[in-house]
Structure 1
């Protein structure tokens, strides 16, 4: 039971990190597009 709980906790942490990196990636892409749009005359 304890091992199963640890596995579920680590899985949740991995999902949180994956979500965080995906969010950062999306923001980076959006910021990049915004900079290109502002730089273009």
Structure 2
């Protein structure tokens, strides 16, 4: 259904945002 598709889209978008934020955090912590 359409609602399920929207839920999956939101889930993938959330995972993408978290991945980017974690990546930025790792870079910030690893920088001297």
- Give the gaps of 5 or more residues in structure 2: none
Normalized against structure 1, the TM-score is what?
0.77
Normalized against structure 2, the TM-score is what?
0.98
List 4+ stretches of structure 1 deviating above 2 A.
Answer: none
Superposition deviation, residue 18 in structure 1:
0.0
Q: What's the Cα RMSD here?
A: 0.2
- Give the gaps of 5 or more residues in structure 1: 1-9
Superposition deviation, residue 14 in structure 1:
0.1
